[in-house]
Amino acid sequence: MSVRQKFKQFYHDHASAAFFTGCLIGSLIFVCIYGVRILDVTYDAWLLDSSQCEKLWDLTQHYLGWIYYRKSPWHFPIGLLDGLYSESVSILYTDSIPLFAVFFKLLSPILPETFQYFGIFGLLCYALMGGFGVLFLRRRVPYALPQLIGSAFFVLSPCLLKRTFYHTALSAHFLILAAFCLWAYREEILHSSDGRRAFFRRERTHYTLLWCLLGMSSFLINPYLTPMVFGVLACSLLQECLLRRNWIDCLTGLFIPAFATLSAGHIIGAFYGNVSAASAGLERLSFNLLQLVNPANYLLEIRDFHYLWETQNYSAFLPVLPNFSEWQEEGFSYLGLGVILMLVLCGVLSIRQAIRSRQKSAALTDHANSDSKASGRTLIVSIERKSFLFSMSIYFIVFTLLALSPQITIGTVKLLKIPYPDVIFHILSIFRSTGRFAWMLHYGLLALALLLTCHFLGAAKQGKRLLSLTLAVLLFVQITDLSPALADKHEAYTKEFADYTSPFLSFGWKILGENATQIMVCPPTGTFGLYNAPDVSCHLEHYALQYGLSLNVTYMSRDFSKAADEASAKHLQTRKNGEKHPEIIYVFLQKSTVPPAEESGLNYYEMDGFLIGTDLDLDSCPDVKPYMR
């Protein structure tokens, strides 16, 4: 037996070999797109000023969150960090991938002084996307080559491409595929080879523990992924209930993973402090019904408190279609031309098979009635198929409604607004960017298209060759179609990044930093702390790290600004009584809100475009301009 034949046999006999082969494919695709420089854990130039990548400061915020967390003492909950708010907050709110942050903080004493794990995380997302993609297709596709080609469709998903390093933690789409795999392998895990329920329920415990692990991982990477994972779990349990009516096992299989996931969230500090879970923006961050075929990707740049949008076309062939609002970029879920053509092919083949099935239905019915065993097997297959189709229909209906909520739009037209009760609206506001639930439609349709294509073409004469050739052609179309987006990503992350340059050039900043312990950004700071000025927030964090200072509010994923504004406003009131705080640097974002000097007792200065207040005298600094208020 040749080496090739031995590997082929080993691949078919061992699921782990198939999984790791898929991981290798995903890793190679990642390196082709993003290069290897960002995998250097000591290279952080691309993170210190991420506006050089895609004009957003989010990646810098994530990295600085990790730095603050690493230098903070251990607390309980273990995910708390100091220095970015007036009290400890969870690293969950800096989107710094808590699962990785905790792990590498444990290793911090042996890690280099400069250490970043975001490049590794991106590579892992692509690798696991390929691995779980192969594992999923392996359940129904007997041929190795179609499995590997099919997995590349998952790895090259436009949804994953958009999110990678744009919102880093949200690129963990492999969790969705892992949930698909658990659903696909449910029968194999839960039941013995003869189809009967396992007597000692060991398989049930094993299956539930896998869902616990998946749910906890989703929460510890980004909680947005948690309802997506549990949505797949609920559909899997629904199918089982329809088949066997074992409601107690199904409820147990839902509540135990839910409890484990919430416990993980508690340990990481998700419920610590007075943080509002709900957030504003639900009305506009929704999915548009055309976005599955719309290659328009809207890139947001925030400059001087203004929103600037740039439209990027992910397709080399299809035109950009208008959305109801640029904010619907959160619902970006373009399938790609290759997948769209695959769905069309599946539709044609389905109609063809339906016509043939009608012609043969009478003969098959007579044959089944003449054989009681065959009739029984046909009934079982029919029940399983109906239960799966019903569960899958619920999957698409629920996630479509969630993605569209609360207003249903198609193109530039708003069809209707769903009048949710306040309690439902509040729950949905926890996941305000509901458009992201369109990822479930994207991956559901992609998985369905691949399975149907393999089902129809694999059963034909020369099925393996025909299937492999068809998938290869469609993959070529997909890559060619996405070439503009792939090229943009490649250019953004493989170029030579400039070193971070602080805008705080005046000598006055050095005097302030050496004499202060805190930076107080004074009200009003706006929604999400410094959400409307993420660059200012990141610059202040850099400056605070340089001099060992703390801040009262920064740019985070949840709204801390209200409490911070109330506290700083109360503090400014106390200064009217003559209190002095030379240890505080007061930063004012709006000149109209600066209190008169005779009330606050502060000296006001303009330095490098920033308006600050201090009890120190900086009049002797030549590059500091006094500000009269």
387 pLDDT band (50/70/90 cuts)? confident
Peptide bond into 596 cis (omega under 30): no
Do the beta carbons of residue 520 and residue 587 sit within 8 Å?
yes
DSSP conformation class of 306? E
Distance between alpha carbon 412 and the CA centroid of its chain, in Å? Answer: 26
Question: Contact, 49 vs 498, CB < 8 A?
Answer: yes
Distance CA 91, CA 556 (A): 10
Q: How many CA atoms lie within 13 A of 200 on its CB side?
A: 2
Q: Three-class SS of residue 504?
A: coil
Query: Rounded mean pLDDT of the chain?
Result: 87
Q: What is the pTM of this model?
A: 0.92
The C-alpha atoms of residue 434 and residue 282 are separated, in whole angstroms, by 7
Q: Say which residue, 324 or 199, is predicted with more confidence.
A: 324
Residues 251, 274: Cα–Cα separation, whole Å? 32
Residue bearing the bigger pLDDT, 283 or 160:
160
pLDDT of residue 518: 94
3-state secondary structure 507-567: HHHHHHHHHCCEEEEECCCCCCCCCCCHHHHHHHHHHHHHHCCEECCCCCCCCCHHHHHHH
What pLDDT does 363 receive? Answer: 54
Nearest 5°: phi and psi at 610?
Answer: -110, 145
Of residues 433 and 59, the one with the higher pLDDT is 59
Residue with tokens 């530039």, as numbered in its chain: 412
Report the helix count and the strand count for the chain, using DSSP H and E.
24, 12
* Bridge-based pairing state of the strands 80-81 and 89-90: antiparallel
Neighbours of 295 (CB within 10 A): 25
Amino acid at 217: S
Cα(607)–Cα(502) distance, rounded to whole angstroms?
13
User: Could you report the per-residue pLDDT of 269-280, keeping only the tens digit for each?
Assistant: 988 877 666 566
pLDDT tier at 606, thresholds 50, 70, 90: very high
Question: Which backbone phi and psi does 413 adopt, to 5 degrees?
Answer: -105, 130
Decide: residue 359, CB within 10 A, 0-12 exposed, 13-18 middle, 19+ buried: exposed
Q: pLDDT tens for residues 3-32?
A: 677 777 778 878 889 999 999 999 999 999
Question: Which range among 118-122, 328-332, 335-339 shows the weakest confidence by mean pLDDT?
Answer: 328-332
For 438-468, the pLDDT digits (tens) are 999 999 999 999 999 998 988 766 778 899 9
d(CA 414, CA 108): 51
* Least trusted range by pLDDT, from 119-123, 154-158, 187-191, 323-327: 187-191
Helix (H) or strand (E) holding 461: none
- Mean per-residue pLDDT, 521-533: 67
Is 198's pLDDT higher than 60?
no
∠ CA 40-41-44, rounded to 5°: 90
Q: How many residues does the chain have?
A: 629
In angstroms, the CA 375 to CA 316 distance is 51
Q: What is the mean pLDDT of residues 204-211?
A: 90
